[in-house]
Structure 1
Amino acid sequence: MATRTRPRSTPAAPERPDRGPRRRLSVDERREQLIEVALDLFSRCAPDEVSIDDIAAAAGASRPLVYHYFPGKQSLYEAALRRAADELAGRFREPAEGPLSERLHRVMVRYFDFVDGHGPGFAALLRGGSVAAGSWSGAVIDEVRRAAHDEILAHLGAEDPGPRLRLTVRTWIADAEITALAWLEDRSLSREELQLRLVQEFTAALAVTASREPSLVPVLRGLLAEESPSGPAGRLLAQLGGLLADPGIADAVGRLAAEG
């Protein structure tokens, strides 16, 4: 009978120093350990490349023991995905203190920390490229998006946000996902630049939305009043000011504004 070989992209279990007899894990501890090990493997490899044997080896457990806690790889994948989703949603939580753009920048730093640590699994999940990713996993990711959406709206402090503002927030969350996926494929642009760019794009999108939604103007005015010149929004406005100072662009803008 042929012996199964481990996929090349699947990391081997780390070697552990001999520290004497191991403490027997309780039922809850063993289940948590299997979820943590599975999450680590799914984070470093696409889900389709990880097997129950891989998880058992990394956990220092037997294949039957894994099946004792989980009926199959799908159920273990779902448990790991739920853990990852809860962690990712938590990255959007930020105290409502200080300028908005600086708050969002801290969120983006934590978001890219997660993406960097869960690269292959993050990519496979968002692209739906895994056979393990079905309607259930799609629903979990939608929960993360809704949590992020609600957190950002809370930071804006807009009472009864309308459809334009909600769309702006949803579009920005999608932009963050697309940017993160692109960065995983091609890291020619630094994550620091992309984190800043995403925050500045949200600031610009919020200004465009306020131009069409008069009720948002006081909200935008209050948010900009809290910004500092060195923050993401302040730097964006300085850059735009320099751009608009270009004679050719200034003339074009003046003409368009006059004719509009």
Structure 2
Amino acid sequence: MTSPAPVTRAYRRLSVEERRTQLLAAALTLFAHRPPDEISLDDVAGAAGVSRPLVYRYFPGGKQQLYETALRSAADELELCFAEPTAGPPTERLARVLDRYLVFVDEHDAGFSALLRGGSVAETSRTTAIVDEVRRAAAEHVLVHLGVTRPGLRLRMMVRTWIAAVEAASLIWLDEGKQPPSDELRDWLVDHLIALLAATATTDEETASAVKDLLAREVPGGPVGRLARGVGPVVSGAEHLL
């Protein structure tokens, strides 16, 4: 009786692009949960199941090149969070954008903190430029939803201030064990934007016009209506100041 022929596993050599994608995916997973200073090429090689020399073959610039490439990939992913159809109440659109953004922050955890806090040995002018590019893209998307194509200084400053506040709140949220729940944080950040718009509108005609247009597109059950109803009792004792 003859023994069955041994089963041979099909082996397919990865193409250059497939191997590069595999290494980048392994690096992204590591950078998502640990600061870049704590990750070595050996860690990346181990996560990908390959040798350290192979990592160097595809990323001859070493860890720095790999980190910058991974950061570029993460930035592209983050920018996708900002894409939202320009239909419906503006603040509800921005709430959906924030939902996707906070999912990204949650999934990238320590890597997100290291990226925005700076101070990493992996930080360079190139990595800083990538982060700034994401911030500019976020600002442009916010302005689109506000219906403004050529913003003046006050409105630009206000939007950039809000984006900085969103970043800071995200980092604090991570420090606080991701509390409050992300939906509460989202609502609070939308309220911040509405409040900043209202405050800026009192001294800037362009912002006042944008707020007027925004209010016309909002609905009673949306974020603006909810905030207006909540603010009423808080400021009810301010009649003597008017």
List structure 1 segments (4+ residues) > 4 angstroms apart after TM superposition.
none
Q: Please tell me whether the aligned partners of residues 152 and 206 of structure 2 are also in contact (alpha carbons under 8 angstroms).
A: no
| Deviation of 1:69 (Å) | 0.4
5+ residue gaps, structure 1, are 1-18
Counterparts in 2 of 1:220 and 1:79: CA distance versus 1, 3 Å? same
Q: CA RMSD in A?
A: 1.5
Q: CA deviation at 1:228?
A: 1.8
Q: Give the equivalent residue in structure 2 for 1:176.
A: 166
Read off the aligned partner of 1:223 and give its amino acid letter.
L
1:225 aligns with 2:216: yes
Aligned pair partner of 1:211 in 202, 222, 240: 202
2 CA distance for matches of 1:36 and 1:222? Answer: 44
| 2:148 matches 1:163 | no
Equivalents in 1 of 2:179, 2:92: separation in Å? 24
Please state whether the residue corresponding to 1:229 is helix, strand or coil. coil
What is the distance in 1 between the residues matched to 2:11 and 2:173? 41
Taking the aligned partners of 1:76 and 1:159, their CA distance within structure 2 comes to 36
Aligned to 1:7: none
> Which sections of structure 2, spanning at least 5 residues, go unmatched?
1-7
State the one-letter code of the partner of 1:255. H
- Look up the equivalent residue of 2:99 and give its one-letter code: V
Match in the other structure for 2:40: 51
- Number of aligned pairs? 233
Aligned to 1:197: 188
Q: Please tell me whether the aligned partners of residues 158 and 216 of structure 1 are also in contact (alpha carbons under 8 angstroms).
A: no
Q: Deviations over 1:104-151 (max 9, x none)?
A: 100110111010011111101111132112222111100000111111
Output the amino acid matched with 1:242. P
Equivalent residue runs for 1:88-103 within 5 Å = 88-103=78-93
Structure 1 range deviating more: 215-224 or 55-64: 215-224
Is structure 2 residue 33 aligned with structure 1 residue 25? no
Cα shift at 1:191: 1.7
Tell me the distance in 2 between the aligned counterparts of 1:85 and 1:144: 6
Q: After superposition, what is the alpha-carbon deviation per residue over 1:218-237, rounded to whole angstroms, capped at 9, x for unaligned?
A: 32122112212222221111
Q: How does the TM-score come out when normalised to structure 2?
A: 0.92
Q: Which residue does 2:3 correspond to in 1?
A: none
SS at match of 2:151: coil
